[in-house]
Amino acid sequence: MPSSLPSFVRYLYPPVFLLGTLLAWFAVSEWWQWISPTRFPTPTQTAEAFQRILIQGYGNGRLHQHIVQSVLLVSLSFTISAALGIALGIFMGASRKIEALVNPVFLTLRPIPPLAWIPLAIVWLGLENSAKVMVIFVAAFVPSVINTFTGIRSLEVPQREAARMLGIRGRAYYFEVLIPAAMPMIFTGMRLSLQASWTTLVASELVGAVLGLGSILNQAAQDINPPMILVGMIFVALSGWLMTYGLGLLERLAIPWRPV
Amino acid sequence: MIAAQTSKPWLQTLRLSLTGIVLFLGCWYLAVFLEVTPRRFLPAPHEVLFRFVQLIQEPFVGFTLGQHLLSSFRRFLNGFLLAIAIGIPLGLLMALSRGVQLLVTPIFESIRFVAPIAWVPFAALWFGTGIGGPTLVIFMGAFPPVLINTYRGAIYVDRKYIEAAKMLGAGPIRLMTQVLFPASLPSIVAGLRISAGLGWQSLVGAELIVASSGVGYMMVKGQASIQTQIVMAGMIAIGLVGLLIDILLRRMERRFNRYQEVH
């Protein structure tokens, strides 16, 4: 939002826009019927679908069960994967030997998009949660490693030497020099990781799952139920946004010195 | 000792790199020979390689690997070019006009949070599973970086140039094509690289779910019949093409950055 606008316009604009979009949606789909409801649902249908999944449930569960399943699975696998990725990134950044040892394998596996691991995960682990954990692990691992590595390496030689000269060694060197310096990059990596994890989870739930937001989409697509597809998409977006927002809060706690 | 270390650091790197690869393959082979899982779930590396070569020569589910790749690549190109064709002009227009910017930003910001893959059901419903459906999914993946980078590049163009062009009588179209576009080119090309990566990744996802040809489809069929070599060969093919696209665009990026430095 451009800052040159008067402040009341800046605050009023989003709700006004939302209302306008809603009105336009009613107009083209319900009043004038320019768009066929078999292609894109009307607001009334969407509200009904929302009510149905909220109260009766749809595709093996109610809305909150789907959300909890997906969000919990992503958060847990993401946390494990990012923690390991950050650790590897720190070691690779701190030691050229470890970098040389790990890099070739890492560079070979890196161009394979996380989504391409889904069929392999299904062959190995089936449609269980464990297959999703594996796919999310792959998705979240790579960006964490790369960004942490870059962050550690971005610490300049004078700073390193100053730290050495002041006698900072061992654990303290890692925890008080290297890691704080790499913190902004680490969080950049985590944000990318989280995004990739979320996309990958939704995709693997679309391919096959009992519960989860992706499985709503899959079920709705099979039933040719456009309103339910839309409800699923809205909640995929909302949950993704919520998790990104949560990570942003965490970042502000972890890096209080960073200007926002 | 110091002399030995500084004289051949690359040799040490090479030795360690080779050790890394050997270790990786060694663990893989060990897992295969110890039969951690049945052989058909975990084929040996050379078996995957053989299958890869075999797939190039013999068709699997109707097409050879080359043909699958071609149909994947065509879908990718469709979605990617569509993202460029809409993203660049729209980004420039947003930088030029407050009205367009106010109209597009909220729509864009809310759609951006929908994972591209979540468009799959609508894509199939609206455009079918042939070319159109996957194209929409790729477009949804590839579009945001193009738009964002074009817009960011264009708003940071020095106001002097815009004022000068306006004073010399340039209309909005010439302003966009002859001032804003060339000046924001480095940023646009950087965006294209991200966008191609995301587009390629979305393509794979789209093909896993809705498609009747392509590498993703081939992998799904391999998975359904538990032919792990095919799944892994598909992963290699996808990785290689993705890498190739990235290298091409990186080269382009470097050229445009040099262009900017000279002028």
* B208·A2 Cβ contact <8 A: no
**Cα–Cα distances in angstroms (integers) from residue A239 to residues A64, A111, A187, B64, in the given order:** 11, 27, 19, 40
pLDDT digits (tens, 9 = 90+) for A206-239: 888 889 999 999 999 889 899 999 999 999 999 9
pLDDT tens for residues B153-183? 998 888 888 888 888 888 888 888 888 888 8
pLDDT in tens, B88-97: 999 999 988 8
Contact yes or no for B21 and A97 at CB 8 A: no
Q: Do B125 and A123 touch (CB under 8 A)?
A: no
- With beta carbons less than 8 A apart as the criterion, state whether A226 and B127 touch: no
How many angstroms separate the CA of residue B228 from the nearest CA in chain A? 7
Identify which of A112, A207, A237 has the shortest CB distance to residue B238.
Answer: A112
Structure tokens at B242: 């993705």
Is B118 part of the contact surface with chain A (CB cutoff 8 Å)? yes
Catalogue all structural domains in chain A, each as residue range(s) with its CATH number: 53-254 (1.10.3720.10)
* pLDDT at res. B258: 66
**What rounded mean pLDDT belongs to chain B?**
86
Confidence of residue B3 (pLDDT cuts 50, 70, 90): very low
Structure tokens at B216: 């993703």
Residue at token pair 């749809």: A58
* Percentage, residues of chain A above pLDDT 70: 97
Are B229 and B47 in contact by the 8 Å Cβ rule? The answer is yes
Q: What is the pLDDT of residues A21-56, one digit of tens each?
A: 889 888 888 888 888 888 889 888 999 999 999 888
Within 10 angstroms of residue B228's Cβ, the number of other Cβ atoms is 23
**B20 to A102: CB separation less than 8 angstroms, yes or no:** yes
Interface touch A233/B242, C-beta < 8 Å: no
Q: Do A241 and B115 touch (CB under 8 A)?
A: no
pTM of the complete model: 0.85
Q: What whole-number distance in Å separates Cα of residue B217 and Cα of residue B68?
A: 8
In the predicted model, what is the mean pLDDT of residues B231-243? 92
Give me the interface pTM, i.e. the ipTM.
Answer: 0.84
Residue in A closest to B239 by C-alpha:
A112
Residue of B nearest to A227 (CA): B122
User: What residue ranges do the domains of chain B occupy?
Assistant: 1-36, 40-261
Which CATH superfamily is B40-261 part of?
MetI-like (1.10.3720.10)
Closest CB to B113 among A218, A232, A237: A237
Q: What is the pLDDT of residue B1?
A: 39
pLDDT digits (tens, 9 = 90+) for A153-193: 888 888 888 888 888 888 888 888 888 888 888 998 998 89
Distance between CA atoms of residues B168 and B184, nearest Å:
20
